[in-house]
Chains A and B, each alone.
Chain A
Amino acid sequence: MVEILFFIAAIGAIAGAVGVVVLENPFYSVLSLVAHLLSLALLFLLLEAQFVAAVQVVVYAGAVMVLYVFVVSYVGGQNLPIRAVNSPSLRIAAPLFAFCLFVELMIATLGTGLSAISSEGPKLAANYGEPEQIGELLLTKFLLPFEVASFLLLIAAVGAVMLARRRRGLDEPEVPAPLGLLRPAGTGTMAESAGGGFFRKSTASASDDSTSTGRDLG
């Protein structure tokens, strides 16, 4: 029973993750992500981590996903095509590195003392993974990280508000970046090394404008 559930959940998690990347419609992507997160929750449950599984469902699959759906319905749906990577070397190197990393992780997990796989599983205390135990840990051993994490959330909120709001009555309405023209080509920006890269700069479009849609940040 456990094995069957594990494989269902594992396949669901991987398929969900692939779906997020592959599907073109953002709504489907988000739904795929929900499927992925629910599968993860099931995996947590199989690991006897009931509390984490519950939190996973409530917070991620519930709250965060609702936010995502909101965001997608506000700004998504423009159906901008995702540009392919231009640089051929990157197109070869990236999957190669990913494959190497995959192999390495496989060796690491399979080749070591994951003794639990072969036997009956770890011996766990009766209350393992229950809210009580997690709460106790958070208030004793991990008190400081717990408190710092709360401060971190506050700061993240401050940062988000700062970036999101548009201030009125600033000194002068600035013309966006005429200085961007000053940077000469070939100075080794990351954009160049990635072959067009992250954000297509308006200045860089002169070099290859076939793929450029003239999209600018903001």
Chain B
Amino acid sequence: MIAAAATSIKAPYIDWAAFSPIVALICGAVIVLLIGLLPGRRVREQIVPGATVLTLLATLGLTIWQWGENTSIISGALAVDRLSLVLNVVFVATGLVTVVMSLRERATVQAGQGEYYTLLLASLAGMAVLVAAQNLVTLFVGIELLSIPLYVLCASELQREKSLEAGLKYLVIGSVGSATLLFGLSFIYGATGSTDFSGIAAALSSKGETIASNPLMLTGLGMAVVGLGFKAAIAPFHQWTPDVYEGAPSPITSFMSVATKAAAFGIFLRFMDVAVIDEALTWQPLLAALAAITIVVGNVGALAQTSVKRILAWSSVAQGGYLLVGIVVSSAAGLEATLYYLVVYVVMNLAAFSVVVARERETTHGDSLSAFAGLGSKRPILAVPMTIAMLSLAGIPATAGFIGKLNLIGASVDGDYAWLGVLIAIGSAISLAYYLRIVAVMWMPDRRGDSPETDRPHGQPEIIGLAIICSAATIFFGIIPSPIYDLVRGAGESIGLL
């Protein structure tokens, strides 16, 4: 009986080589968890982060090993192609930076290093699964594996009320998003009878009916977009962002603001540009409206803030709006522009967050603007990277952010959405008001009232190093952008876009 069943089921072929980066992350997470159980302070504070870094480096190595691959593995659950590989690099880089930022973080002690880093790696594994997902089930499992560790990590500073509040808030709202997404996905399955992206596309084109004439599909798509919008913090589903970003421990905030965003946009790109690409004309106006709202809401929301983490939270909402423009145009140029901007965004945002983390530990002002007062003369080594990051986020030339915006505007004009390009320009101009506020606080303090010296400068060379590396990269890629072009080139074709 058992033997008969075994012969009737043919186990799917697993391309272990192509699957290896995700395997490395998952195994690494388990190993780190086990190491964390060993006794001894040294184990906790050095070996656990060390093992995490090793895991990430192994993942990076395996990703590079698989570079150029373009296959579909494990019965079509995952796609290993340029899009997922590029984003893997982004995730690993963000993970490495987060580990370095977390080294002296109180949250790691309170949560237990083993668990903290395990959750981090698990979240990364979820992201890697998510951006490679090419059926609805994998998509949902990936998004949950990404989110659940993050809910916990947000609350990992267990003795600070705000951290717990952030975790709970993120949990509640994230669950609403997930539920909406799942509901939408089930509708899509109901309308097309397939969970595979390619199957959905085939069903849509073979039935000869458009999304617009099929309310089930339309509603499903709408709810899926809303669900993904929650994860990507697209307005009007961004409400949780400032509170959660502010409450979470800063390394986790930084991780969320770049990696989660990259993952959410990665799957957004793949889903829109593979599963429902034939119906682009139907959903383009919807996404264009969302992009416009996001750009405006994000930039205007940031204006009144006094906490730098909240400013960066709103700014990340606005940047999400820019990223959405590349999805709206649904072309290879748009996809590559979005991917390009994601890479750039990661670099410049990490530069900003490393300075925020450093200042949070040096002063008693936390992350409020006053923690940055007069930084230009007191600590130029932190002020310069922060300035570069702010100028780059605003899209000033000679920084990577400028080239990123250039690509997005080019893609928008190319896709006949020139008005979105104009909106990017106007949004950037509004954003200058708050980015420059941070710059002005650092370099142009009030001459009369010197801020009281509350600094407790202590050596944290690793964070300063991070800030310098990230900001130097921002400038470098602003002047010599070709390496990033080489990285993202072909991502559009790899998923079959023109």
Which residues in A have some Cβ–Cβ distance to B below 8 Å? 104-105, 107-109, 111-114, 132, 136, 139-145, 148-149, 151-152, 154-156, 158-163, 167, 170-171, 174, 176-177, 179-180, 182-184, 186-191, 193, 198-199, 216-218
Say whether B479 faces chain A, with CB atoms less than 8 Å apart: no
Given known A-B contacts A143-B75, A163-B152, A158 and B119 have beta carbons under 8 A apart: yes
Asked whether B162 lies within 8 Å of A177 as measured between CB atoms, the reply is yes
| Contact partners of A111 in chain B: CB under 8 A | 215-216
Q: How far is the CA of A199 from the CA of B30 in the complex (A)?
A: 35
- Shortest beta-carbon distance, A147 to chain B, in Å? 9
19 A-B contacts (beta carbon < 8 Å): A108-B219, A111-B215, A139-B9, A139-B11, A141-B12, A142-B137, A143-B11, A144-B75, A151-B26, A158-B33, A163-B167, A167-B110, A176-B160, A177-B162, A179-B162, A179-B366, A182-B366, A188-B304, A198-B165
Digit string of B166-196 for contact with A (CB within 8 Å is 1, else 0)?
A: 0111001000000000000001000100000
Asked whether A145 lies within 8 Å of B160 as measured between CB atoms, the reply is no
Asked whether A104 lies within 8 Å of B219 as measured between CB atoms, the reply is yes
Q: How far is the CA of A163 from the CA of B119 in the complex (A)?
A: 12
Asked whether A108 lies within 8 Å of B218 as measured between CB atoms, the reply is yes
Q: How far is the CA of A171 from the CA of B11 in the complex (A)?
A: 52
Q: How far is the CA of A161 from the CA of B149 in the complex (A)?
A: 12
Q: How far is the CA of A191 from the CA of B12 in the complex (A)?
A: 49
Asked whether B161 lies within 8 Å of A217 as measured between CB atoms, the reply is yes
Say whether B276 faces chain A, with CB atoms less than 8 Å apart: no
Asked whether A140 lies within 8 Å of B75 as measured between CB atoms, the reply is yes
| Contact partners of B111 in chain A: CB under 8 A | 162
Digit string of B124-149 for contact with A (CB within 8 Å is 1, else 0)?
A: 01100100000001101110110011
Say whether B151 faces chain A, with CB atoms less than 8 Å apart: yes
Asked whether B122 lies within 8 Å of A174 as measured between CB atoms, the reply is no
Asked whether A159 lies within 8 Å of B148 as measured between CB atoms, the reply is yes
Asked whether A107 lies within 8 Å of B219 as measured between CB atoms, the reply is yes
| Contact partners of B140 in chain A: CB under 8 A | 145
Asked whether B74 lies within 8 Å of A144 as measured between CB atoms, the reply is yes
Q: How far is the CA of A124 from the CA of B172 in the complex (A)?
A: 38
| Contact partners of A177 in chain B: CB under 8 A | 160-162
The total number of A-B Cβ pairs within 8 Å is 159
Q: How far is the CA of A193 from the CA of B220 in the complex (A)?
A: 29
Asked whether B165 lies within 8 Å of A217 as measured between CB atoms, the reply is yes
- Shortest beta-carbon distance, A105 to chain B, in Å? 7
Say whether B368 faces chain A, with CB atoms less than 8 Å apart: yes
Asked whether B109 lies within 8 Å of A171 as measured between CB atoms, the reply is yes
The closest CB in chain B to the CB of A144 belongs to: B77
Asked whether B152 lies within 8 Å of A159 as measured between CB atoms, the reply is yes
Say whether B10 faces chain A, with CB atoms less than 8 Å apart: yes
| Contact partners of A174 in chain B: CB under 8 A | 159-160
Asked whether A199 lies within 8 Å of B165 as measured between CB atoms, the reply is yes
Asked whether B169 lies within 8 Å of A143 as measured between CB atoms, the reply is no
- Shortest beta-carbon distance, B204 to chain A, in Å? 13
Asked whether B159 lies within 8 Å of A187 as measured between CB atoms, the reply is no
Asked whether A143 lies within 8 Å of B164 as measured between CB atoms, the reply is no
- Shortest beta-carbon distance, A145 to chain B, in Å? 4
Partner of A148, one of B141, B169, B222: B141
What class of interface size applies to chain B in its complex with A?
35 or more
| Contact partners of B368 in chain A: CB under 8 A | 182
Partner of A190, one of B159, B169, B215, B366: B169
The closest CB in chain A to the CB of B129 belongs to: A148
Known A158-B115, A160-B152, A198-B169; further 16 A-B contacts with Cβ < 8 A: A104-B219, A108-B218, A111-B215, A136-B9, A139-B9, A140-B75, A142-B137, A144-B75, A148-B138, A152-B141, A154-B30, A163-B152, A179-B366, A190-B169, A190-B240, A190-B243
Asked whether B161 lies within 8 Å of A180 as measured between CB atoms, the reply is yes
Given known A-B contacts A159-B151, A188-B242, A108 and B145 have beta carbons under 8 A apart: no
Q: How far is the CA of A44 from the CA of B433 in the complex (A)?
A: 56
| Contact partners of B316 in chain A: CB under 8 A | none
- Shortest beta-carbon distance, A174 to chain B, in Å? 5
The closest CB in chain A to the CB of B191 belongs to: A112
- Shortest beta-carbon distance, B174 to chain A, in Å? 13
Q: How far is the CA of A198 from the CA of B125 in the complex (A)?
A: 31
| Contact partners of B75 in chain A: CB under 8 A | 140-144
Asked whether B122 lies within 8 Å of A140 as measured between CB atoms, the reply is no
Digit string of B218-244 for contact with A (CB within 8 Å is 1, else 0)?
A: 111010000000000000000110110
Q: How far is the CA of A193 from the CA of B240 in the complex (A)?
A: 11
- Shortest beta-carbon distance, B97 to chain A, in Å? 22
| Contact partners of A148 in chain B: CB under 8 A | 129, 138, 141-142, 145
Asked whether B125 lies within 8 Å of A151 as measured between CB atoms, the reply is yes
Say whether B24 faces chain A, with CB atoms less than 8 Å apart: no
Asked whether A170 lies within 8 Å of B109 as measured between CB atoms, the reply is yes
Partner of B307, one of A142, A167, A183: A183
The closest CB in chain A to the CB of B114 belongs to: A158
Partner of B77, one of A142, A149, A167, A188: A142
| Contact partners of B156 in chain A: CB under 8 A | 162
Say whether B155 faces chain A, with CB atoms less than 8 Å apart: yes
Asked whether B9 lies within 8 Å of A140 as measured between CB atoms, the reply is yes
Say whether B306 faces chain A, with CB atoms less than 8 Å apart: yes
Partner of A167, one of B112, B168, B239: B112
Digit string of B11-47 for contact with A (CB within 8 Å is 1, else 0)?
A: 1100000000000001001100100000000000000
Give the contacts of B395-430 with A (CB-CB under 8 A): none
The closest CB in chain B to the CB of A171 belongs to: B109
Say whether B385 faces chain A, with CB atoms less than 8 Å apart: no
- Shortest beta-carbon distance, A53 to chain B, in Å? 17
Partner of B161, one of A109, A186, A218: A218
Say whether B284 faces chain A, with CB atoms less than 8 Å apart: no
| Contact partners of B394 in chain A: CB under 8 A | none
Given known A-B contacts A187-B306, A190-B240, A107 and B162 have beta carbons under 8 A apart: no
